[in-house]
Structure 1
Amino acid sequence: MISTKTLIIVSLLGVMIASGCAVSEAYNEEELGLRKADLYSEKSVVGEPTAYSTVAAGESKMIQRSFENAPPMIPHDVEGMMEITQESNACTGCHMPEVAEAIKATPIPKSHFFDMRTQKVLTEMSQARYNCSACHAPQSANEPLVKNEFKPDYRKANGMERSNLIDNLNEGVR
């Protein structure tokens, strides 16, 4: 015969399973995530066309940085500039510090003239930093899929326009 203890445990287990199944809510696949399409087929999925800036370099407005020392977005057209190699980099023609101020371009910051491994200041831009598009990207005019409510907090008044990463590089590391 079944003991009272076993009967109580089996009954409680049955109630837990039944109540768990009763409150579970079913979602169809089109309700999951940001993609409102069949997850098993790519046939109906078409990405929104990306609307990059067509404003020429030198005529664009600076885009505020997302947070302190964030790599700035590229506000101008980059057509023909993205074949970046160590020998050929169209970005440096306008953004090298000795040229940038005269043509009102954002100068490459001091952190790009610093070797992180040896902790030494360099006379030329670090070879680890020649590929600008690894961190900097053209800004698209597309609407975001999710509203961003992040509010950056800059320690300096010009923090949204200039980098001070080299000054803060080892901050907190002592």
Structure 2
Amino acid sequence: MTSIKTLIMGSLISIIVASGCAVSQSYNEEDLGLRKVDLYSEKTVVGEPTSYSTVSAGESKTIQRSFENAPPLIPHDVEGMLDMTKENNACTGCHMPEVAEAVKATPIPKSHFFDMRTQKVLTEMSSARYNCSACHVPQSANEPLVQNNFKPDYRKESEKSRSNLIDNLNEGVK
């Protein structure tokens, strides 16, 4: 009786392995990845030049956030504004809350005036937040390499253009 069970199990395993091998398909290197070139040679690979906005700050249109409380993308030209230091930050000239509304810029949110370590509200922007380009990046005008079907879900319409992160940092935490 045991030998019949063993024979049947062995036969089933053989059929499964054989059918798996029969449907296997091989691929060329050029069929893999997004570049469609030989994967073993980088000599012929040239990336598409990145195209950023050349619209001046103050004349650009705000880009909808990717998701609720996502760092907003920079919709304007950043030529000459990068390489920030605590003492030299071109972004704060327009984006400080007391100036932003007058120049129609997105104001720096309350979360940037809060010390996460001490849990205290600050009177000036946190020294941990001076490097804006660590989170905020210019939007490229290039076409995406792959289709993106992600659809953001906002709890409120206003969250498409403003952050409320400081108000709900501990949401759900008891």
Q: Distance in 2 between matches of 1:100 and 1:10?
A: 74
| Percent sequence identity over aligned pairs | 81
Identify the residue that residue 151 of structure 2 maps to in structure 1.
Answer: 151
Cα shift at 1:99:
1.0
User: CA 1:6–1:155 in 2, change beyond 3 Å: closer, same or farther?
Assistant: closer
How many pairs does the alignment contain? Answer: 172
Q: Does 1:20 align with 2:25?
A: no
Q: Distance in 2 between matches of 1:10 and 1:59?
A: 73
Residue pairs, 1:76-155, within 5 angstroms? 76-155=76-155
Q: Does 1:54 align with 2:79?
A: no
TM (normalized to structure 2)? 0.91
Q: Which amino acid aligns with 1:97?
A: P
TM (normalized to structure 1)? 0.91
Deviates more, 1:28-37 or 1:101-110: 28-37
Secondary structure of residue in 1 paired with 2:158:
coil
User: CA 1:8–1:133 in 2, change beyond 3 Å: closer, same or farther?
Assistant: same
Secondary structure of residue in 2 paired with 1:17:
helix
User: CA 1:114–1:46 in 2, change beyond 3 Å: closer, same or farther?
Assistant: same
Mark the runs of 5 or more structure 2 residues left unpaired by the alignment: none
Q: Does 1:31 align with 2:54?
A: no
Alpha-carbon RMSD: 1.7
Secondary structure of residue in 2 paired with 1:24:
coil
Cα shift at 1:17:
3.2
Identify the residue that residue 41 of structure 2 maps to in structure 1.
Answer: 41
Q: Which amino acid aligns with 2:117?
A: R
Deviations 1:68-101 (A, max 9, x none): 1110000000001011111211111111111111
Mark the runs of 5 or more structure 1 residues left unpaired by the alignment: none
